[in-house]
């Protein structure tokens, strides 16, 4: 129903952004909310999912990321939350390479993905994702970082489905890095949580 929303980013939260389009605020669940910055203009590609008792809008940095989300949803055992957790991985080419190489271990590092589902992802998506495209690079970022950038990144990792225990385990490693923005902390956290 919706292709994209273009407007002012009114709010950035650990698992969603609000885009104000002509005075109407649309809440979009996103993989990495910190690629967007409050008060800036943005185009967020959208996918609406209607279920028995809920309607949700999912947001993406570009049409290619949206396409991958829909491909992931076509896999038996993958729901929107798992698909977003996979999309939050900063290395889209790495995901494509893992699928091409039948790397079940890499895929099981994402929340909610066991060996059976990882094997199903490989079976269903092999040859459908190009390895040379980095699907997760945002179109625009600026140097502005919200206060509590590490806390925001930790909240985002938890919202993506990683357990509190997993996140607490990597928190000291993130603290030692002294990064400049929430997005950098989120990327570093994802690398630590998904490495094999």
What pLDDT tens digit does each residue of the chain (196 aa) get?
799 999 999 999 999 999 999 999 999 999 989 999 999 999 999 999 998 888 999 999 988 889 889 999 999 989 998 888 888 874 556 677 888 888 888 888 888 888 999 999 998 988 787 644 444 444 433 433 333 788 888 888 888 888 888 888 888 888 888 888 888 888 888 888 877 5
Q: What is the pLDDT of residue 132?
A: 42
Half-sphere exposure of 12 (CA within 13 A, CB side): 26
Task: Kindly list the domain boundaries of the chain, sorted by start residue.
Answer: 4-60, 66-125, 149-194
Q: How far apart are CA 4 and CA 106, in angstroms?
A: 31
- Say whether pTM exceeds 0.75: no
Q: What is the pLDDT of residue 135?
A: 40
Question: Six-digit token pair at 108?
Answer: 């099981």
Q: What is the pLDDT of residue 130?
A: 63
Q: How far apart are CA 127 and CA 10, in angstroms?
A: 38
Q: What is the pLDDT of residue 131?
A: 47
Q: What is the pLDDT of residue 22?
A: 95
CATH superfamily of 66-125: 5' to 3' exonuclease, C-terminal subdomain (1.10.150.20)
Q: Are 5 and 44 in contact (CB under 8 A)?
A: yes
CATH code for 4-60?
2.40.50.140
CA distances from 189 to 3, 16, 97, 177 (A): 30, 18, 21, 11
Question: Six-digit token pair at 104?
Answer: 């079940």
């Amino acid at each position: 129903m919706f292709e994209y929303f273009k407007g002012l980013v009114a709010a950035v939260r650990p698992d969603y952004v609000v885009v104000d389009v002509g005075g109407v605020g649309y809440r979009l669940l996103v993989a990495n909310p910190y690629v967007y910055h409050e008060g800036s203009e943005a185009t967020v590609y959208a996918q609406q999912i209607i279920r028995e008792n809920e309607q949700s809008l999912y947001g993406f940095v570009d049409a290619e990321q949206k396409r991958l989300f829909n491909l992931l949803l076509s896999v038996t055992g993958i729901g929107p939350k798992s698909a977003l957790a996979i999309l939050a991985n900063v290395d889209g080419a790495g995901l494509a390479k893992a699928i091409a190489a039948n790397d079940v271990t890499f895929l099981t590092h994402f929340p909610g993905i066991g060996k059976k589902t990882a094997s199903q992802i490989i079976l269903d998506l092999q040859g459908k994702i190009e390895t040379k495209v980095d699907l997760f690079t945002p179109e625009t970022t600026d140097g502005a970082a919200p206060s509590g950038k590490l806390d925001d990144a930790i909240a985002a990792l938890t919202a993506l489905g990683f357990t509190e225990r997993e996140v607490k385990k990597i928190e000291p490693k993130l603290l030692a890095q002294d990064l400049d923005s929430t997005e950098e902390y989120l990327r570093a956290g994802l690398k630590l949580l998904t490495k094999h």
